[in-house]
Structure 1
Amino acid sequence: MSAFRTILLLCSLAATAPAVAQTSPTLRTDLAVLSGCLRDSGSSPSACIGAVAVACVRAASNDPRGAEAGCARREEAAWRQRLTIALQMTGRRLDAGQRSRLAALQLAWESYVTQKCAFYGATQREALQAGRQAGCELREVAGRAIELAKVLPQAAGRRPQSPPRIIR
């Protein structure tokens, strides 16, 4: 993650409302695919990791190996959007000290992922390195987005279907 992107992330944790991101048509489509998959996956959101990238690679039938890195980065962008929103929502519930710790944790996590996936990529044959490193980053970002989404209150702001009954 670039230093600029990290600074933006840290600033967004302090924001009181999520920023409305300008997204490309491709990213909007990919976000819709992920949302549909996550809605349909029930309690297995990790089954959606690869939903965009696999279809993208299959569509590149003339050079699937060459498309791996680009397709993984494309899906990673959608998961990263979800991760950023989850971090913002989590940060809103925290006091300033806790937000600072969350930002430090996220920065350390980003560093870990960068190092882990670079190492993994470097252990592959040269022709596979870029695709495997991008796939590693995709899996890590998606997993983190799923992890944070689980801790968000799912019923926040919902009213019960019927009023509670008072038992005497």
Structure 2
Amino acid sequence: MMVTMTRLGILAFGLLAFGLAAMTAGGAGAQSARSSPELSADRMQMVSCLSQSGTAASSCIGSVAVTCVRTASGDRRAAEADCARREEAVWRERLTFASVAVMRNADGGARGQFAALQVAWEGYAAQKCAFYGSMQPSARVAGMQAGCMLREVASRSLELERMVGQRSPVRRPSNPPSIIR
């Protein structure tokens, strides 16, 4: 049984690594095309919004994208899609860090479940956003899909960040009770 759990733990970690690679693949292209100062500014804007939002962290979803669209010139629809992907890159980084923290705090069986859950979640989000995009006129597909992925990734990131924040370390008593025989 121990060998199976060890193999399961290795499999779970592999699945999570694969899932994280798949999750960050969409954001990686956007990040590589962006300059480091721009990405840093987006991160700082998100951190600022989250620190000011208190318990309403979901109110920050879209904050980078909205600012980006307002300052963009040219085709508004293209800007909406590009700006949504730009913010999604920031949320995907946060999602990756939160996923690693969940894996670090979980035992072998829970790691396997979490890895499978993340892979399934990524598939669900991709299918959901493709469906929503397919329901739109062709000129709006890219923007609707990008906006949907932004919301899905941001929501999942916040969910995992809450989960990690709620987990408290196990405290050992300074004077453990002794068993009297």
- TM score, norm. by length of structure 1: 0.78
1:9 is matched with 20
Please tell me whether residue 75 in structure 1 is matched to residue 87 in structure 2.
yes
Deviation string, structure 1 residues 49-96 (Cα, Å, up to 9, x no partner): 011000111111432222111100000000000010011111111112
Residue 87 of structure 2 aligns with an amino acid whose one-letter code is E
Q: Does 1:136 align with 2:148?
A: yes
Does the CA contact (< 8 Å) of 1:76 and 1:141 recur in 2? yes
TM-score by length of 2: 0.72
1:120, 1:40 → 2: CA distance? Answer: 31
Q: Would the alpha carbon gap of residues 155 and 39 (structure 1) be closer, same or farther in structure 2, given more than 3 Å must change?
A: farther
Match of 1:31 in 2: 43
Of 51, 63, 67, the match for 2:63: 51
How big is the shift at 1:132? 0.5
**Alignment size in residue pairs:** 143
Specify which of 90, 98, 102 is matched with residue 90 of structure 1: 102
Per the TM alignment, residue 48 of structure 1 is displaced from its structure 2 partner at its CA by 0.2
> Max radius of gyration: which structure?
2
- Matching residue within 86, 108, 114 for 2:126: 114
Contact 1:58/1:64, CA 8 A, preserved across alignment: no
Unaligned regions of 5+ residues in structure 2, if any?
1-15, 22-31, 170-181
Structure 1 pair 8–143 and aligned structure 2 pair: CA distance change class (3 A): closer
RMSD after superposition:
2.4
Q: Does the 8 A contact of 2:50 with 2:57 survive in 1?
A: yes
Of the structure 1 ranges 107-116 and 23-32, higher mean CA displacement relative to structure 2 is found in 23-32
Q: Give the letter for the 2:155 counterpart.
A: G
Distance 2:166 2:95 in 1: 16
Percent sequence identity is 53
